């Protein structure tokens, strides 16, 4: 007779197998999520900046990439694992942070952390998560990474303290966010009254009453809060949201990043890099790599698709640091496309959030397993048996930015220093 723990494990495996049959794609999850969470929460997950062209550009660019399969290969043993900063993970996929995640699905931070630990993939928990970095590191001691938002007030006092807390908690990697220099307009959020501090209007209450699964989760978890911030803002009422409204943002300068780098003793990345010169500068500051990202299309709608600038950034700094991709990844095939274009790993945010919204507490684990399984299938179907070989796969990327694309702008504005640095880096 199996023990109680074994019985629970078998039930979970059966539940996850059933979910894979019923919801095999992110599109399936999206349709179910729309019915289970309040409209304002769904719109926040799905929305982007401005006219949302950046958001759609991410998906279109990834879908346009072709990888030529090679048949007749022995793919009876496919290895999806990848080594990142001294640890081997199940696959080159991680969970990206989504600010105020607990309002999208109450308890989201904990569910992400536990799913990442169980699936052995990185969890990049954010500054604006709804549980503290200390609690996340307890739930996911082997896979916790920390994304640091800039808090410029008082010479980044809070930024440095958050980094120190992440170090003490045991976070494996620190990721500094570069791409939030100013606040942006997200029309969906404005139309829905989704602003900070967030206040429930009669319309929001009606939306919530129609989302019964979300209400049950809220009753269990309580109102979400900016847990990492409460040490600095206090925990009364709107103190946390007011602190976020007043202090979060403004962007990291390169000088501030250099100071964080000097104090952080473990691997450190810069997230939000879209130009090879910025990647080069990050490496010169002693960073261990970069995450190429346009913030999921949520910051600047005129930005190129992340995947389109990835190849030249990888050629510029990929031999000296780890280059990863965030924004637009929704499947194992997308993971393969990114690896073939030069990434050493990928992150996804919306897909995991939609998993929770659609399926509740097991949703993040369902999505993690789907990514790993789909990636293994994509490797095998391509005649590839491991991640290292995938980086040499024959690929056609029609919308990729070239070295000439980047240099043309520098020459037009007469930026001799920038274009010179790019040429030197590209020649290295």
- Residue 264 is given by DSSP the state -
pLDDT score for 186: 75
pLDDT score for 1: 47
In the numeric block, which tokens belong to residue 181? 């220099």
pLDDT along the chain (428 residues), means of 10: 60 73 85 91 80 85 96 95 98 93 94 97 96 98 96 90 98 93 69 68 84 93 90 79 76 92 97 95 97 84 93 96 96 98 97 94 94 97 97 96 84 52 50
Cα 376–chain centre separation: 21
C-alpha pair distances (Å), 163 with each of 150, 243, 276 = 11, 18, 26
In the numeric block, which tokens belong to residue 368? 């993690």
- For the stretch 399-423, pLDDT in tens is 999 999 988 766 655 555 555 555 5
What structural domains does the chain harbor?
24-188+245-396 (3.20.20.70)
As a whole number of angstroms, the distance between CA 187 and CA 51 comes to: 8
pLDDT score for 185: 66
Whole-model pTM?
0.90
Chain length of the chain: 428
- For the stretch 31-43, pLDDT in tens is 899 999 998 888 8
Q: What are φ and ψ of residue 164, in 5° steps?
A: -65, -40
- Residue 258 is given by DSSP the state H
- 159, 258 in Cβ contact below 8 A? no
Nearest to 172 by CA among 40, 265, 78, 73: 265
Nearest to 289 by CA among 344, 347, 348, 349: 344
Give residues with Cβ within 8 angstroms of 366, minimum separation 6: 16, 19, 20, 23, 355, 359
SS3 123: strand
| Residue 397 designated active-site | no
pLDDT score for 412: 53
Q: Which position among 39, 295, 366, 397 bears the catalytic label?
A: 295
DSSP secondary structure, 295-354, as one string: GGGTS-TTSPPHHHHHHHHHHHHTTTSEEEEESS--SHHHHHHHHHTT-SEEEESHHHHH
pLDDT score for 234: 78
pLDDT score for 267: 98
SS3 125: strand
């Amino acid at each position: 007779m199996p023990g109680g723990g074994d019985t629970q494990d078998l039930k979970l495996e059966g539940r996850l197998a059933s979910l894979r049959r019923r919801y095999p794609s992110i599109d399936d999850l999206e349709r179910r999520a729309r019915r289970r969470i309040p409209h304002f929460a769904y719109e926040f997950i799905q929305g982007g900046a401005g006219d949302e062209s950046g958001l759609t550009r991410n998906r279109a660019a990834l879908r346009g990439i072709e990888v030529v399969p090679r048949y007749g290969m022995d793919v009876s043993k496919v290895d999806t694992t990848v080594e990142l900063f001294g640890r081997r993970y199940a696959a080159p996929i991680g969970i990206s942070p989504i600010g105020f995640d607990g309002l999208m699905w109450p308890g989201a931070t904990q569910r992400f952390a536990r799913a990442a630990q169980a699936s052995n993939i990185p969890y990049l928990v954010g500054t604006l998560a709804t549980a503290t970095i200390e609690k996340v590191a307890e739930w996911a001691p082997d896979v916790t990474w920390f994304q640091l938002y800039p808090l410029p007030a008082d010479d980044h006092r809070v930024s440095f303290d958050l980094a120190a807390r992440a170090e003490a908690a045991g976070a494996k990697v620190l990721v500094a966010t570069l791409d939030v220099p100013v606040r942006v307009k997200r029309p969906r959020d404005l139309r829905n009254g989704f602003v900070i501090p967030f206040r429930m209007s009669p319309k929001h209450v009606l939306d919530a009453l129609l989302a019964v699964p979300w209400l049950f989760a809220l009753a269990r978890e309580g109102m979400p809060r900016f847990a990492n911030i409460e040490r600095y803002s206090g925990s009364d009422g709107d103190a946390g949201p007011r602190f976020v409204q007043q202090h979060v943002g403004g962007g990291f300068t390169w000088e501030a990043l250099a100071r964080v780098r000097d104090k952080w003793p473990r691997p450190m990345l810069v997230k939000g890099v879209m130009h090879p010169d910025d990647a080069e500068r990050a490496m010169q500051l002693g960073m261990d790599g970069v995450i190429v990202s346009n913030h999921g299309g949520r910051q600047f709608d005129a930005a190129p698709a992340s995947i389109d600038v990835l190849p030249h950034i990888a050629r510029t700094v990929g031999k000296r640091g780890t280059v990863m991709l965030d924004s637009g990844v929704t499947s194992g095939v997308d993971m393969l496309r990114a690896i073939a274009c030069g990434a050493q790993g990928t992150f996804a945010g919306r897909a995991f959030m939609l998993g929770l919204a659609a399926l509740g507490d097991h949703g993040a684990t369902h999505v993690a397993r789907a990514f790993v399984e789909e990636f293994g299938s994509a490797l095998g179907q391509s005649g590839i048996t491991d991640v290292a070989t995938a980086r040499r796969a024959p690929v056609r990327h029609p919308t990729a930015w070239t070295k000439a694309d980047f240099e043309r702008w520098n020459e037009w504005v007469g930026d001799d220093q920038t274009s010179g640095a790019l040429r030197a880096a590209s020649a290295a």
